Chain A
Amino acid sequence: MTPSVATSQTILVVGGGISGMTAALEAAECGKQVVLVEKSATLGGRTATLYRYFPKLCHPTCGLEINLRRIKASRNIRVMTLAEVTKIAGSRGGYTVTLKIAPRYVNANCTACGACAEAVSAEIPNPWDYGLGRMKAAYLPHTMAYPQRYVIDPAIVGTAEGEKAKAACRYGAIDLGMREETLELEAGAIVWATGWKPYDAAKIQPYGYGRFPNVITSVEFERLADPHGPTGGKLLRPSDGKEAKNVAFVQCAGSRDENHLRHCSRICCMASLKQTQYVREAFAEDARSTVYYIDIRAIDRFEDFYAKVRKDATVTFVKSKVARIAEDAATRDPILHGVDTEGYRRYANRHDLVVLAIGMEPSVKAADIPADVVADSSGFIDAGAESAVFGAGCATNALDVNRAVQSATAATLRAIQVVNRAARAEA
C-alpha cells in the first residue's frame, strides 16, 4: 500500500464530469488542496460525449476547454484517473479514504503521438460511443481527453498485440508490468459527483430496443450527430446505413413511470427539442422530426427554445406516450403505435429511426456509496446527512449542465466550511 498523501484540510472530489471539475476548481481557486478522483481514463464525463449543448447549441468543447485549462493551471489540484473509492472511514473533518487505481499501462512520458494505436490491430467497443463504434485497443478516449495520454486496454496486455504497442512507442511510455494499486489518503470533506447513466432501454420491453436496430437512445443519437462519432457526424440509421430523415423522438422513455424510473429526468424534453435541430441541420427542409410526448417540460428560460422549435415546420408534436413499437420486417422501419390524447385517435406511424429520450439514473446509487449519505426514492443523494460527504451535479438529481454546475458550487462551499473549521481546530 502506498503511504498517505493529503491532509484533513484536503477536499476530495469523486467524479470528474462537469460537476466534479467545477467543484475541484472552485475549491482550488479558494486556496484549498484538492484531489480529484475519476473512474474512467479521462475527465469530462458525459458532457464530453454530447454534440451540442442546449439552449445555445454551442459545442461542449468551449465549456470543457476553459475548465481543463484552469485545472492545468492550478497547483492545488491533483487529478487521479482510473481511480475508484472503495472505502471511507472516519467522520466529518477527518476521513481516511481508500482508493483502487487500475493500471493504464502508459506512463507520463506519453506525448499522445498515437504510434501505439497505429501499431495495434485489435479493436474493442468504444464506450464513449455507447458501443455504436469500435476503437483500437490502444487508444486516447476522445479528442478532448485529459490527461492527453493513451491507454492500453487490459485485453491486449500479455499478448503479441500488447508487445506491438510497446515496440511502437519511441518514448518508453508503455509499461505492461503496471499493476492495480491501492492508496489511502486523508480528507476533511468529500464532494461526491459521480453523475448519471442512461436507464437500460431494453427494460422497456414494448419499445424493442435491442431487438430492432433502428430504435436507439438519445445518448446514442448525440454520437451519430458528432463529427467525431461513429458515423463521422452523419445521421445514418444502424440497420442499413440509410440517411435517417424521418426521426421519431419518444419522450419519457423510462422516466415518470412507476414501472421504471419514478422521477422526471428533466433534461430529455430539451434534449429532444435540441436533437430535432440536428435533423434539420442535416437535411434542411427534407427533415421530418416527430416528438411523441406527455407534456413538454422546458423549464424557465428554455421555454423560448421550445417556442422556436414549435415554429419549425419540419417538427411535429404528438401528445401521446407511445404504447408499442413494431418493425416492418422487410424495410426494418420502426412503426409506432399508440393513441394521441388530443382527440384520442389511434395511430400507426412509420419512421426511419426512433430515438428514445432515455431517462437518467444515478451512476452510483446512493445506497452503494461507502459513506453516510441520504438517498431519495430514485437513489440520488439527498441533503440532510450528518457527514461531510456532499452530493453535487447529477449524483443529486437529473440536471442540465447549468444546474449541475450550480449544485457543484453549492456543495463546494459546504466542503470549504468543513475544512476551514478543521483548520481552526488544529491551529
Chain B
Amino acid sequence: MPGDAGMGDMADLNERALAKYRNDFLREVEERVDEGHWVKMCMQCGVCAGSCPFGPHWEHSPPKIFLMIRAGKREAVLTSDSMWMCTSCYNCVVRCPRKLPITTIMHGLATYAQRLGLAPKVQPTRDFSIIFWENFTRTGRANEMRLMLRLWFKEGFAAGVKKALSMRDLGLAMLRTKRMSPLEILGGHGVKDVKGFQAMIRKAKEIEDRRRGLSG
C-alpha cells in the first residue's frame, strides 16, 4: 500500500526479495504481484498494446513488460513508469485472446514497486495514489476538498494558485452539484468508527503481507 513504510524498510524489503528470488524474477512476480501467475500465459500477440488509448505515451506496453519479467529484467520493470500510466479502461482485458487480467497485473506491479521503494519518484499517478490513500484512510471517507487542495498545492503555493484558477470551472461545478463541500476543509465527514476502520485496514495489510511473503 502506497506511502506507509519508511525508506529503510523499503530498501530492506528489496534486499530480502533479491536474496530470496535471485535470478527468478518471474517467480517473484507470480508469488508477490496480484494475478502475477498469469504473466507466463501471455503469447505476445500485441493486441492489448494496440488497443490501449495511452499506447503512444508509454515506454513499456503490457506485452513488453511481461516479456521483460520473463527475461528477468527486474530493475527495469520495477522502476518503469508504464504501469502508472494505466487508466483502468480495461480495453486490453476485453481484447486479450488469453483473457489475462492485464489491468490488475499492471496495478499489482505498480503497488509492488512502490512497496520496495523502486517506483519512479516523479510520477503524477503515483503522487495522486499516495495523496488519495492518505486522505481516504484518515477518516474512512474520501475528502474531495482536501484531496483537491493537496493535489494542486503539491508543487508549492504559486503553482497551486495557478492550478486552482485553471481548474475553477470544474471545482465550482462540483460544489454546485454537491459533489464537494467547502466545509470538508474543517476535517470533513468520516465513518462512524474511525479507529475500528483503521484497525481493519492494518489487519488487511498484515494478512496481505503475510500472503505475499512481505512481512518482517
Contact = CB atoms under 8 A, between A and B. Distances in A.
Contacts of A346: 49-50, 55-56
A300 interface: no
Interface in A336-353: 337-341, 344, 346
Contacts, number: 66
A41 B95 CA distance: 40
Contacts of B56: 346
Given A340-B46, A341-B44, A344-B63, A321 B97 contact: yes
A323 B61 contact: no
Interface residues of A, number: 22
A323 B95 contact: yes
B50 A338 contact: yes
Contacts of A344: 46, 49, 60-61, 63-64
B45 interface: yes
A319 B46 CA distance: 9
Interface in B36-57: 43-47, 49-51, 55-56
A172 to B, nearest CB: 57
A194 interface: no
Contacts of A341: 44-46, 49, 63
A295 B47 CA distance: 13
A294 B44 contact: yes
A46 B58 CA distance: 46
B212 interface: no
A359 to B, nearest CB: 11
A257 B95 CA distance: 9
Given A321-B47, A346-B50, A346-B56, A339 B95 contact: no
B44 A339 contact: no
B202 interface: no
Contact of B50 (A259, A260, A339): A339
A320 interface: yes
A32 interface: no
A321 B46 contact: yes
Contact of A256 (B50, B60, B95, B97): B97
A242 interface: no
Interface of B: 43-47, 49-51, 55-56, 60-61, 63-64, 94-95, 97-99
Interface of A: 206, 252, 256-260, 294-295, 319-324, 337-341, 344, 346
7 contacts: A294-B44, A320-B45, A338-B49, A339-B61, A341-B44, A344-B49, A344-B61
Given A320-B50, A341-B45, 8 more contacts: A259-B94, A319-B46, A323-B51, A338-B47, A339-B46, A339-B49, A339-B63, A340-B46
